[in-house]
Structure 1
Amino acid sequence: MIDPAFLDELARFRASLRRETSAQRQGEQRSPYAGEGLTFADYRRYAPGDDTRLIDWRLFARTEELFVKVFEAERNLTVHVLVDASGSMDYGEGDAYKFDYGAKLGLGFAYLAAEEHNDFRFSLFRERPERLDTGRSNRSELLRLVDRLNATDPSGETAFVDALDAYAATIGSKSLVIVVSDLLVDPDDVASGVAALSRNDVVLPQVLSPAELDPEPTGDTIFRDAETGATERAYFGGRRTRTYRERLDDHVAAVTERARDLRADHALIDTGEDFFDAFAALRADPDAAARR
């Protein structure tokens, strides 16, 4: 269950983050999702006196030339949060429970959007997206969302492509889209889903529990598919354990590659980590969060 007091913790986190940002030198500030109500328009070559926060360091790594991002003002920025509510998210124990952890990541982005006088939209998705918010981007709406999320039982299968494609059709202008999921689907489906959202800035926090990331050998075990309910008996240990870890590493790498090709930010999140440490890294720099 998500404690409503979590919103007070977010308030303290935001105050701490603002103090930290104010204390940094201007050239060190990094927060691509600060919600400034600006839209990327183009690049131009860096000139002395330009704000060094606007330098695209990834482009520098490829070209060895300094370019700054040029933005155009928008009336408002909308943050769209989609949280996977399929059966595979019903996994993990205590604070590491995947659905609650992922929902809190989504609430964190929604909270910061509201505090920065931007709008948010909050939805769950399985085979189709289900919008939970009522269009009011304020604290009372966040409290209502906490209640709705606490009443949600992750279940069923996910149709990643269909759900994101259907949701993309509802976005009216370029926005920030946060898709929180364990992404335990075919990497090509991840690519297709993200491609449907490609006219927006997309962030993909991939939430996996410690037991999924580094499972202990269990010997003779009955495995159950959390989405379909199908079961299979197998000996899990030795070579099979190593094979599982290798396949998971390959899967995460494939998802990362496809996200990068589509200019989306993918970050692997261990739900065993302290939530605010993970959220701070994700919000400031998704690539840094992925390397944690």
Structure 2
Amino acid sequence: MIDAAFLDELDRFDGSLSQVTDARQRGEQRSTELGEGQRFADYRSYVPGDDTRLVDWKLYARTGERYVKQFEAERDLTVHVLLDASASMDVGGEETHKFDFAAKLGLGFCALAAAEHNDFRFSVFTDRFDRIDAGRSNRGEVLALIDRLNDVDPVGEADFDHALVEYAATIDSRSLVLVASDFLADVDDVEAGVEALARNDVVLAQVFAPEEVDPPTRGDTIFRGLERDLELRTYFGSPQRRTYAERLESHVEQVSQSARNVDARHVRVESDAEFFDAFARTWVE
């Protein structure tokens, strides 16, 4: 269960996103739409019907040519959180539960967005996404999200290609997107999903429980799949443990490379880590 008390300690973090997205102006981001905003963008030649208030008369006095100033409209930044709710996230003990830890990362992003009067959206996903916030983007909504997340039972299998591509189509302006997951799926599917989000500033938080990194089992063991109906009986000795560790590290590196391929940022965290240390690495680099 997620305890809301952790939100009180988020004040130590700068919520301005000044190091996170290059649209960054204390809760504002540039769009590509031109209008009467506050940021000068470019000049274009005057045409009849243009607002004469936008003519640069000083430039006209020097050149004899009439040019209209263009400005970039400014929009509030939107933070999007996509939280993996598949069965493989249901791992870990009461203090190290992987889904809860990943959820807290996402809640932290939302809390800091709300503190700066930015919008946030929070969704859980498996093969599809389900938006669970009510669109209020304030601290009260963050607290309500904790109650909703405490009722989520991670089940099913994640489909990154379908769910993330489907979600990307709903984003209508450049945003900050956090995907919190173990990413235990085909790397090509992960990359396809992340690539669909790539016009935004994307952070992949890859979360593992300690027993996944260092399985406590020894000797004759039966491994059962969490997302698929699979069972493997094997002897899990030192050679097998080394192979397991090597394959896990290889998969993490492949996910990290997939992130680099689309200019996303990848952060690996473990659910027994001190939360605010992990959050600091995830929030800014």
Deviations 1:214-265 (A, max 9, x none): 2245111111111124222111112111100001111111111111010000
Match of 2:10 among 9, 13, 16: 13
- Asked whether the equivalents of residues 31 and 174 of structure 2 are also in contact (C-alpha less than 8 Å), the reply is no
Using the alignment, how far apart are the partners of 1:159 and 1:248 within structure 2? Answer: 20
SS at match of 1:177: strand
Quick one: structure 1 residues 201 and 40, their matched pair in 2 at CA, closer, same or farther if it must change by over 3 Å?
A: farther
- Asked whether the equivalents of residues 30 and 75 of structure 2 are also in contact (C-alpha less than 8 Å), the reply is no
What letter is aligned with 1:243?
T
Structure 1 or 2: more strand by fraction: 2
| Partner of residue 32, structure 1 | 20
Using the alignment, how far apart are the partners of 2:31 and 2:130 within structure 1? Answer: 29
What letter is aligned with 1:37?
E
Deviations 1:50-96 (A, max 9, x none): xxxxxxxxxxxxxxxxxxxxxx7732000000100000000011221
- Asked whether the equivalents of residues 267 and 281 of structure 2 are also in contact (C-alpha less than 8 Å), the reply is no
1:113 aligns with 2:104: no
- Asked whether the equivalents of residues 203 and 265 of structure 1 are also in contact (C-alpha less than 8 Å), the reply is yes
Using the alignment, how far apart are the partners of 2:73 and 2:278 within structure 1? Answer: 30
Deviation at 1:139, TM superposition (A): 1.4
Q: TM-score, normalised by structure 2?
A: 0.80
Deviation at 1:17, TM superposition (A): 3.2
What letter is aligned with 2:29?
L
Q: Which moved more, 1:239-248 or 1:209-218?
A: 209-218
- Asked whether the equivalents of residues 217 and 237 of structure 1 are also in contact (C-alpha less than 8 Å), the reply is no
- Asked whether the equivalents of residues 31 and 283 of structure 1 are also in contact (C-alpha less than 8 Å), the reply is no
Structure-to-structure mapping, 1:49-64, within 5 angstroms: none
1:206 aligns with 2:206: yes
Deviations 1:103-137 (A, max 9, x none): 00000000000001100000000010000011100
1:248 aligns with 2:248: yes
Structure-to-structure mapping, 1:1-292, within 5 angstroms: 1-8=1-8, 12-14=9-11, 16-18=12-14, 31-32=19-20, 36-39=27-30, 74-285=74-285
Using the alignment, how far apart are the partners of 2:18 and 2:249 within structure 1? Answer: 28
Deviation at 1:190, TM superposition (A): 1.2
| RMSD over aligned Cα atoms | 2.1
- Asked whether the equivalents of residues 217 and 241 of structure 1 are also in contact (C-alpha less than 8 Å), the reply is no
Deviation at 1:30, TM superposition (A): 7.5
What letter is aligned with 1:13?
L
Using the alignment, how far apart are the partners of 1:281 and 1:73 within structure 2? Answer: 31
Using the alignment, how far apart are the partners of 2:18 and 2:133 within structure 1? Answer: 29
Structure 2: stretches of 5+ with no match in the other structure: 33-71
Deviation at 1:39, TM superposition (A): 4.3
Using the alignment, how far apart are the partners of 1:165 and 1:30 within structure 2? Answer: 27
Quick one: structure 1 residues 118 and 30, their matched pair in 2 at CA, closer, same or farther if it must change by over 3 Å?
A: closer
Using the alignment, how far apart are the partners of 1:123 and 1:147 within structure 2? Answer: 14
Which protein is bigger by CA-based radius of gyration?
2
SS at match of 1:246: helix
Using the alignment, how far apart are the partners of 2:100 and 2:217 within structure 1? Answer: 26
Structure 1: stretches of 5+ with no match in the other structure: 22-28, 42-71, 286-292
Using the alignment, how far apart are the partners of 2:267 and 2:232 within structure 1? Answer: 30
Q: Which runs of 4+ in 1 moved over 6 A?
A: none
Q: TM-score, normalised by structure 1?
A: 0.78
Using the alignment, how far apart are the partners of 2:153 and 2:226 within structure 1? Answer: 12
| Partner of residue 51, structure 2 | none
Deviations 1:133-181 (A, max 9, x none): 1110011111111111000000111111100011011111111110000
- Asked whether the equivalents of residues 19 and 284 of structure 2 are also in contact (C-alpha less than 8 Å), the reply is yes
What letter is aligned with 2:159?
A
Q: Which moved more, 1:266-275 or 1:226-235?
A: 226-235
Count of aligned pairs between the two proteins: 243
Quick one: structure 1 residues 217 and 151, their matched pair in 2 at CA, closer, same or farther if it must change by over 3 Å?
A: closer
